[in-house]
């Protein structure tokens, strides 16, 4: 007589988990186009696995909860749930289940819809895309932004670049400037901590989330960072390899 053992049950759970992760990877095509730059099928699957694990760790264990997590990750960066920039919209309620999870998702989606309208500029991301375009223009001028001399001037430039974001999250940006977090990240990623580079790092976090360099659905960011370096001998940081990919991404989106 055949008996179902704990090993059988564990094997079934593993199989079901893997099939659902594959389904999440397929679901990413609804949010990220098939011809998205530098995003392979294997990278989609890797991103889906991260989404599944992150959602499960946060207590969002239903299918709806996992797809919600995927949607949020595409909108706000795959590390959105630990990003202080998005604390106003990220779920932080631990284990949830059944009707409580549905109610929580409904509440968060309402906040997200308001945020998309007021900060991103609606479904077309009109405000966001315009700010990104201006940012790319600024950074493509390798010798520009020489007026950035301290944290206050960087904060002011961020505010001028994207006032809607600054209004919502300005305290986060200023806090990271005052604490030296942006400066430390600039050194780690680009081996430079001049205020122009610090501004670049802060703006990238503003647009792509606080761990943009390891975003599972934007692997092109990390790849392009490796191509950035000083312009000439000891010249300003040339980030055009990355801004080129940013522009391609915006055009594709």
The pLDDT tens digits for 86-108 are 876 666 555 555 555 666 777 78
The stretch 146-159 carries a mean pLDDT of 94
For residue 8, pLDDT over 90 is answered with no
The CA angle 62-67-70, to the nearest 5 degrees, is: 130
Tokens of 10: 């564990």
Q: In terms of domains, do 75 and 173 share one?
A: no
Average model confidence (pLDDT) across the chain: 87
Alpha carbon distance 9, 136 (integer Å): 52
Strand partners, 229: 238
Residue range 120-124: mean pLDDT, rounded: 92
**Owning domain of residue 56:** 6-120
How many percent of the chain have pLDDT more than 70? 88
Categorize the per-residue pLDDT at 33 as very low, low, confident or very high, splitting at 50, 70 and 90: confident
Overall domain count for the chain: 2
Residue 1 lies in a domain: no
Each residue's pLDDT tens digit, 41-90: 899 999 999 999 998 888 777 888 889 889 899 889 999 988 998 876 66
Instruction: Name the band, by pLDDT with cuts 50, 70 and 90, for residue 223.
Output: very high
14-29 confidence digits (pLDDT tens): 778 889 899 999 888 8
Is this model's pTM higher than 0.85 or not? Answer: yes
Looking at 120, 143, 158, the residue that finishes a domain is 120
* 114 and 135 share one domain: no
Distance CA 13, CA 56 (A): 14
Let me know whether 46 and 109 are in one domain.
Answer: yes
Residue 94: which of 56, 67, 68 has the closest Cα? 56
Q: Mean pLDDT highest for which of 63-67, 152-156, 166-170?
A: 152-156
**pLDDT for the residue numbered 29:** 85
Which of 62, 93, 120 is a domain's end point?
A: 120
Are 112 and 162 part of one and the same domain? no
Of the three residues 75, 101, 120, the one that is the final residue of a domain is: 120
DSSP states along 172-238: HHHHHHHHTHHHHHHHHHHS--SHHHHHHHHHHHHHH-TTGGG-TT-HHHHHHHTT-EESSSS--EE
Percent of the chain with pLDDT over 90: 58
C-alpha span between 129 and 207 (Å, rounded) = 10
Whether 112 maps to a domain, the answer reads yes
């Amino acid at each position: 007589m055949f008996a179902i053992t704990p090993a059988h049950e564990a094997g079934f759970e593993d199989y079901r988990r893997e099939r659902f992760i594959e389904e999440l990877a397929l679901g990413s095509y609804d949010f990220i186009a098939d011809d998205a730059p530098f995003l392979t099928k294997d990278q989609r699957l890797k991103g889906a696995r991260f989404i599944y694990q992150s959602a499960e760790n946060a207590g969002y264990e239903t299918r709806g909860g996992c797809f919600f997590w995927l949607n949020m990750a595409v909108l706000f960066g795959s590390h959105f749930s630990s990003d202080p920039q998005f604390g106003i919209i990220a779920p932080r309620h631990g284990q949830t289940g059944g009707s409580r999870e549905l109610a929580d998702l409904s509440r968060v989606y309402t906040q997200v819809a308001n945020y998309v309208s007021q900060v991103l500029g609606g479904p077309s991301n009109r405000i966001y895309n315009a700010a990104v375009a201006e940012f790319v223009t600024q950074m493509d001028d390798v010798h520009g932004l020489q007026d950035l001399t301290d944290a206050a001037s960087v904060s002011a430039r961020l505010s001028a670049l994207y006032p809607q974001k600054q209004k919502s999250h300005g305290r986060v940006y200023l806090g990271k400037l005052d604490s030296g977090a942006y400066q430390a990240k600039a050194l780690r990623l680009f081996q430079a901590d001049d205020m122009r580079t610090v501004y670049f790092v802060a703006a990238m976090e503003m647009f792509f989330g606080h761990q943009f360099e390891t975003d599972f659905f934007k692997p092109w960011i990390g790849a392009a960072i490796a191509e950035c370096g000083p312009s000439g001998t000891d010249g300003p940081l040339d980030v055009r390899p990355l801004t080129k990919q940013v522009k391609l991404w915006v055009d594709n989106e």
